Structure 1
Amino acid sequence: MVRQETIEFVRENRSLLREVAENGDPAISPLAAAFLAAVPPGDEKASSLGQGEGNRDGGTAR
Structure 2
Amino acid sequence: MPFDDDKKLSAKRKFNREALQRIQEELTQYLKENGFDVQRGNKNKECKNLSVPEYKAMREELKK
Do the two structures share a fold, i.e. TM-score over 0.5?
no
TM-score calculated relative to the size of structure 1: 0.29
Task: Please tell me whether Structure 1 or Structure 2 has the larger radius of gyration of its CA atoms.
Answer: 2
TM-score calculated relative to the size of structure 2: 0.28
